[in-house]
Structures are given as C-alpha cells and as structure tokens.
Amino acid sequence: MGWLENTVALVTGPGSGLGRAVVERFVAEGASVGALEISPEKAEALKVEFGERVEVLVGDATQFADNDRAVAQTVERFGRLDVFVGNAGLWDFGTPLEALQPGAISQAFDELFALNVKGYLLGAKAAAPALRSTNGSMVFTVSNAGFWPGGGGPLYTASKHAVVGLIKQLAYELAPEIRVNGVAPGGMRSDLRGPPALGLADTSWGSLDVEQIVPAYSALGRTPDTADYTGHYVLLASRENSLTVTGSVHICDGGFGFRRAS
C-alpha cells in the first residue's frame, strides 16, 4: 500500500522533467492526479502513459481561469482535491546581470516571474477552497537558488527567493486547515527551458553537459535523476507522514550551499 492511497493531487508543469516524475511517483503511491500542462503534445503523452489515473488538462499555469478549470475538472473527475503541487517553471540559465540586455530585462522578468511566482499564486488561489474542505496541502517547487547564490542568474534566484516567501505567507494565512510547504531540489537531468525574451525558449537544461556541471555544485558529487527528488513531494503530500509540517522547505540540493571547492 502506497503513502498516497485515496489521495487526489493536481500538478502543474507535469509534461516532462520533475513534474512528470512527480506524477509518476504519485500514481505509484496510489494517488489520482490532475495534470495542468501547456503543451498539447506532452498532454497527450501523459494520457497515453497514465490512462484513467490522470486527468490531463491543456492550459497555462499563468492564467487564473486555467488553474480554476484544472481544479474544477480534477474535483469533478475524482471527487475531491487533497494536494496542489505548483511546479511549472522557467530557468534563466544563470544569465548574470552584466550579460542581460537592458531592453530585455523587463520582458524576461515578466516571463519568468509570471510562471515561477504568479503561476503558483494563481494555482493556490484556485485550489484553496477545495483544499480547505479536505484539510489538504500545497507543495511548491523551489530550488537551491531559493537559498544560495550561483544556482541561476539574478532573475531566477530572485524568483525562487520569492517562492520561499510565498510559502511562508500562505502557510500563515491558510492554517490550520491547509498545510503549505516546498521542495528545493538541486540540478538534475531535465527538459527545463528559459524565458523567450532571453532567447532561451528552445534551450533545454538537458542540452548542457549536466553530467559535468551538477557534480561540481554538489557536496555529494552526483547527478540525480528527476525521480530522486520525488520522495520529498510524497512525504509532504502524505497526511499521515507530515501532519505537523507547514511553512517548511525541504532542501534536498545535494549540499549546494556547502559544496567543496574544485
């Protein structure tokens, strides 16, 4: 018997990378899952792989109407909502301040913060009524960049610090009915993309030399797969195993903050 039997979750950004791994692990742990995915192709692939266990919706996490529709359709399909996982995001590929073109900063900021921060806020707003009725929880994907410099450029790092603040504020506001927590992974093999304003919409994190980059920023010296982080989401989604936890972020970045000098 899995940790998430009789649990219904909604995950944003589930089409690839960490989001897809979370969906796969939740299903393996017994959950039924709603999945809000912007790519029709990735959405179709989710339907093919998971069938009746996953309710797939094509929509944009930066739009409240799509988040609201995802919540409603998940509840209609499975009868309730126990967990909202805000996961959809963009990375700035570590673009430093001095490399940012002045004319691109505003648009890149808007694109990145719209998904990494506003998308979580809109998802939380849409999910809160359903979660309050089940004494459910929210879990947001943070990053090592939410705590340490060097995990991205100023745009990404600022956005992930904002997510940490969002978690704390929502945990304060939504208690005691709804628990709100986060997971802060490090680097991994994934298809994470960047903001179009920086010309990074078609650039994948996986296209870089991940096997060399990630161990250099990890005290553990290894390159995790996306599945290696999913246990933290399961733990925080499980009432039985995290009933007393709210306002916390599980830092599981391989020791990014105290990595050894190369």
pLDDT digits (tens, 9 = 90+) for 225-235: 889 999 999 99
Cβ neighbours around 77 below 10 Å, total: 14
Q: Which is it for the CA torsion 187, 191, 195, 198, positive or negative?
A: positive
Is position 3 within any domain? Answer: no
Is position 169 within any domain? Answer: yes
247 contacts: CB under 8 Å, gap ≥ 6: 167, 168, 171, 172, 180, 181
What is the predicted pLDDT for the residue at 191?
67
Is position 2 within any domain? Answer: no
What is the predicted pLDDT for the residue at 261?
47
Report pLDDT digits (tens) over 43-66. 999 999 999 999 999 999 999 999
Ramachandran category for residue 224: left, alpha or beta (phi over 0 → left; psi -120 to 50 → alpha)? beta
The pTM of the full predicted model, rounded to 2 decimals, is: 0.94
169 contacts: CB under 8 Å, gap ≥ 6: none
Residues 132 and 78 sit within 8 Å (Cβ to Cβ)? no
How many domains does the chain fold into?
1
What is the predicted pLDDT for the residue at 221?
75
Is position 1 within any domain? Answer: no
Provide the residue range defining the domain that includes 232. 8-258
Helical segments of the chain, H only: 17-28, 40-50, 64-78, 102-113, 119-134, 154-174, 210-216, 230-237, 239-242
**Residues in the chain, pLDDT under 70:** 188-191, 201-216, 259-262
- CATH number of the domain at 242, please: 3.40.50.720
What is the predicted pLDDT for the residue at 51?
94
Is position 223 within any domain? Answer: yes
Is position 235 within any domain? Answer: yes
What is the predicted pLDDT for the residue at 205?
59
Comparing C-alpha atoms, which of 74, 80, 64 is closest to residue 23? 74
Catalytic residues: 156
Report pLDDT digits (tens) over 122-134. 999 999 999 999 9
